[in-house]
């Protein structure tokens, strides 16, 4: 059954919401028994790429040559010999190269960003597990938990966090900032304000927010809403793009 031309997907100059009914799959070079859904890329206005990779059993992919952060959504994905399950992640700097495959299949979200080295400090590769990261309460609000997945170290030029909102919890302000965001809804639902639009959003949706896009979120429903959010970080604004 088609949707008679209707979708929640919306593309605006400073943001877009992409919903799963509009996802298009294509395998970039080096991807076998796997496919990618590219959510954010320079062609759409972002200074980074963010894409979901769907691996069949025996699937392999090649990263784009930039530094890379990979977060497993389901199944299992092996990065440089380490098997990662759901909510586990890996960071690989640009100069290391990443061998990525999935023996039995799985899904992962991948973020790549041209690396801005500061004072010659090169970040080291690492892996982690979101479930073991201690949360902080945003602005002291216990209903809004932030988990920081990239170490607080100026060697890293971007941040990736998860944010978990209890039903009814909301960002304390409409944020407007120079950093851009890539956001994947992992769980639950709510309303996202982006510039002068209010969108109902739910698990599986992707949002790109450009620099200075006004943004606010409030969680709705009876279960927590959770998203994975990228932002450029730790660099002088003259060096963002
Ligand atoms: O880190 C952030 O800028 C975050 N609070 N933004 C957001 O959730 N839209
Ligand atoms: Mn923000």
pLDDT at 64: 79
How many angstroms is it from 66 CA to the middle of ligand 2?
23
Mutate to test the pocket of ligand 1, among 171, 179, 188, 192 (most ligand atoms within 8 A of CB): 171
Match domain 22-129 to its CATH number in 3.30.470.10, 2.60.120.10, 2.60.40.1120, 3.40.50.1980: 2.60.120.10
pLDDT at 63: 85
d(CA 78, CA 175): 36
Q: What is the DSSP string of 173-219?
A: S-B--SS-EEEEEEE-EEEEEETTEEEEEETT-EEEE-TT--EEEEE
pLDDT at 222: 97
Alpha helices, DSSP H only, in the chain? none
The DSSP symbol for 28 reads P
Q: Whose CA is nearest to atom 9 of ligand 1?
A: 215
132-158, pLDDT tens digit by residue?
Answer: 999 999 999 999 999 999 999 999 999
Mark the ranges of the chain whose per-residue pLDDT is less than 50: none
pLDDT at 239: 78
57-97, pLDDT tens digit by residue?
Answer: 999 999 878 999 999 999 999 999 999 999 999 999 999 88
Task: Write out the residue limits of the CATH 2.60.120.10 domain(s) in the chain.
Answer: 22-129, 133-239
How many angstroms is it from 84 CA to the middle of ligand 2?
28
| Side-chain-facing half-sphere of 145: CA atoms under 13 Å | 13
Residue 138, SS3 per DSSP: helix
What is this structure's pTM?
0.97
- Residues forming beta bridges with residue 106, ordered by sequence position: 55, 75
Q: Which of 136, 128, 22 is nearest to 85 (CA)?
A: 128
Determine whether the shortest distance from the Cβ of 107 to ligand 1 is under 6 A.
no
How many angstroms is it from 215 CA to the middle of ligand 1?
8
Tell me the ligand closest to 161's alpha carbon: 1
Tokens 């982006």 map to which residue? Answer: 194
Residue 20, SS3 per DSSP: helix
* CATH number listed for the domain at residues 133-239: 2.60.120.10
pLDDT at 141: 98
């Amino acid at each position: 059954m088609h949707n008679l031309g209707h979708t929640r997907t919306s593309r605006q100059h400073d943001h877009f919401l992409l919903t799963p009914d509009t996802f298009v799959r294509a395998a970039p070079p080096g991807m076998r028994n796997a496919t990618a859904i590219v959510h954010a890329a320079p062609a759409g206005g972002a200074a980074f790429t963010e894409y979901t990779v769907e691996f069949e059993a025996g699937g392999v992919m090649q990263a784009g040559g930039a530094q890379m952060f990979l977060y497993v959504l389901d199944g299992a994905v092996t990065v440089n010999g380490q098997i990662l399950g759901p909510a586990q992640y890996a960071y690989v700097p640009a100069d290391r190269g990443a061998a990525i495959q999935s023996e039995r299949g799985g899904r992962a979200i991948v973020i790549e960003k041209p690396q801005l080295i500061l004072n010659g400090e090169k970040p080291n590769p690492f892996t982690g597990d979101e479930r073991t990261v201690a949360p902080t309460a945003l602005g002291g609000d216990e209903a809004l938990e932030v988990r920081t997945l990239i170490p607080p170290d100026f060697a890293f030029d971007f941040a990736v966090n998860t944010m978990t909102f209890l039903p009814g919890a909301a960002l304390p302000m409409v944020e407007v900032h120079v950093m851009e965001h890539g956001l994947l809804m992992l769980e639950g639902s709510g309303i996202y304000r982006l510039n002068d639009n209010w969108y109902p959003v739910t698990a599986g949706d992707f949002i790109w927010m450009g620099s200075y896009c006004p943004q606010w979120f409030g969680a709705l429903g009876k279960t927590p809403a959770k998203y994975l959010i990228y932002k450029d970080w730790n660099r002088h604004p003259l060096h963002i793009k």
